[in-house]
Amino acid sequence: MKKVLITTGGSGGHVIPSLSMYDALKDNFVVHIVTDKRGSKFIKKKNYNFTLIDVPNLFSNLFLLPYNIVNFCLSILKSYKYLKSNDFDFLISTGGYMSLPLFIASNLLNIKIFIFEPNSVIGRVNKLSLNFSKKIICYNKNLRGIPKKFLDKVYLIEPLLRKEIYYNQKNTKMKLGKKKKILVLGGSQGAKFFDEFVSKIIVKFSKLEQISVLQQVADQKSKQKLEYLYQKHRIEYELFDFDDKLLTKIVDYDLAISRSGASAISELSYLNIPFVAIPFPYAKDNHQYYNAEYYEKNNCCWLVMQKDINENNFTNLLIKIFRDQNEYTSKKENLIQFTKEYSWEKNRTNLIKLINEN
């Protein structure tokens, strides 16, 4: 049986699609994951076979650069030893700096390499790997950042969602009720802006409409502040940092206000939850903007840049969304059409085919 190693780490946006990849392949191949300490918090030990190899971010601190270079070289040696001792046939790299040592070691060992890029812009490490990879697994045939000479390596699949999402109930209601239910997803990057600013807008909007809020928070300190704020203004709310039962809670929510990581907005789209995308402005290569732009061009979301937001214009946008039934319904109908062909089995079959043919 062929052996596949998936390398991932950092944020949930990198790790969660990797877990879906693992689930899609595990019945047909021996599959293992390598991640770093940050990525491990998103992985349940009882469900996934994974190994920790921590990799320093070379340029996180210029004063530590010599120390980080030494540790980075050591991580290449660890990766080489690990790959050689486990005799893997394939490496699937999700990018990020933690993938680089494993990519280098795989190339030295002539292990076949696939790049997995869920964003609409190819990541920097994945781009460095193009010369040596066999295929680029992605969602968008117009993936930005790929030189023309590598376009024949593109292997398209539908957004790779968590398996349970495909079997979860979708949001099919077209008419808004008296109480407006709002989901706020700040993500693992830039959540502080949502805690501090979006919460003010929620309070302002609660004076105009009856609302209920389910909100992701950055940390315990933010949670305590928001609890006080929402209780003070008598807003119905629930706060969380990471909730593996989130799917069962959000199916009847009317609108999401979200960062635009590939996983988050793909899941919202599949569940037919219209969303306002606020891209994280400091994302590398502005990939969150291009992720959201893809859905906006298909009239599936509202796209707002963080720099353009103030309390008045964003409150007015919410008023428009909830009081213009035609526009809201149009977004919902487009989401339903956009994702109606998505299938766990179709994606799984395509991924198995890719590996078996290589």
pLDDT band at 210 (very low <50, low <70, confident <90, very high): very high
Please check whether residues 135 and 245 belong to one and the same domain: no
Percent of the chain with pLDDT strictly greater than 70 = 96
Which of residues 243 and 309 earns the better pLDDT score? 309
What is residue 58's predicted lDDT score, i.e. its pLDDT?
A: 67
31 forms beta bridges with: 4
Question: Could you give the CA distance from residue 301 to residue 288 in angstroms, rounded to a whole number?
Answer: 14
Other CB atoms within 10 Å distance of the CB of residue 236 = 13
Mean pLDDT score of the chain, rounded to an integer? Answer: 88
Q: How many domains does the chain have?
A: 2
Q: Model confidence over 267-283: pLDDT tens digits?
A: 999 999 999 999 998 87
Buried b (16+ CB within 10 A) or exposed e, 72-91: beebbebbbebbeeeebebb
What is residue 45's predicted lDDT score, i.e. its pLDDT?
A: 80
The residue-averaged pLDDT of 233-242 equals 87
Give the distance between the most distant pair of CA atoms in the chain. Answer: 63
What is residue 279's predicted lDDT score, i.e. its pLDDT?
A: 93
Which of residues 6 and 222 earns the better pLDDT score? 6
Please check whether residues 298 and 280 belong to one and the same domain: yes
Instruction: Provide DSSP, 283-338.
Output: SGGGHHHHHHHHHHHTT-EEE--GGG--HHHHHHHHHHHHH-HHHHHHHHHHHHHH
pLDDT band at 245 (very low <50, low <70, confident <90, very high): low
What is residue 62's predicted lDDT score, i.e. its pLDDT?
A: 72
Q: Model confidence over 20-72: pLDDT tens digits?
A: 999 999 999 999 999 888 888 888 888 898 988 877 776 667 777 777 788 88
Q: Report whether 176 contacts 325 (CB < 8 A).
A: yes
DSSP state of 64: G
Q: Report whether 288 contacts 294 (CB < 8 A).
A: no
Which of residues 253 and 189 earns the better pLDDT score? 253
Distance of CA 144 to the CA centre of its chain: 17
What domain range is 116 assigned to? Answer: 3-161+342-356
Please check whether residues 183 and 224 belong to one and the same domain: yes
Nearby residues of 247 by Cβ (< 8 Å), 6 or more positions away: 164, 165, 168, 271
* Pick from 171, 230, 176: nearest CA to 205: 230
Amino acid at 96: G
Please check whether residues 273 and 303 belong to one and the same domain: yes
Buried b (16+ CB within 10 A) or exposed e, 20-54: bbbbbbeeebbbbbbbbebbbebbeeeebebeebe
The residue-averaged pLDDT of 243-248 equals 66
Please check whether residues 136 and 182 belong to one and the same domain: no
Please check whether residues 48 and 135 belong to one and the same domain: yes
The residue-averaged pLDDT of 159-166 equals 89
Please check whether residues 236 and 327 belong to one and the same domain: yes
Total-model pTM: 0.88
Please check whether residues 257 and 275 belong to one and the same domain: yes
Please check whether residues 149 and 199 belong to one and the same domain: no
Q: Report whether 215 contacts 237 (CB < 8 A).
A: yes
- In the chain, alpha helices (H): 12-25, 37-40, 65-86, 100-108, 124-128, 163-166, 191-193, 199-206, 220-232, 246-250, 262-270, 287-297, 311-323, 325-339, 344-356
- Per-residue pLDDT at 259 exceeds 80: yes
Please check whether residues 84 and 220 belong to one and the same domain: no
Please check whether residues 112 and 198 belong to one and the same domain: no
Please check whether residues 124 and 235 belong to one and the same domain: no
What is residue 212's predicted lDDT score, i.e. its pLDDT?
A: 94
Question: Could you give the CA distance from residue 185 to residue 275 in angstroms, rounded to a whole number?
Answer: 10
Residue 14's domain is classified under what CATH number?
Answer: 3.40.50.2000
The residue-averaged pLDDT of 288-311 equals 93
Percent of the chain with pLDDT strictly greater than 90 = 52
pLDDT band at 232 (very low <50, low <70, confident <90, very high): very high
DSSP state of 169: P
Q: Are strands 210-216 and 90-93 parallel, antiparallel or unpaired?
A: unpaired
Q: Model confidence over 93-127: pLDDT tens digits?
A: 988 788 888 989 999 999 999 999 999 999 888 88
- Per-residue pLDDT at 87 exceeds 90: yes
Question: Could you give the CA distance from residue 5 to residue 78 in angstroms, rounded to a whole number?
Answer: 15
What is residue 2's predicted lDDT score, i.e. its pLDDT?
A: 94
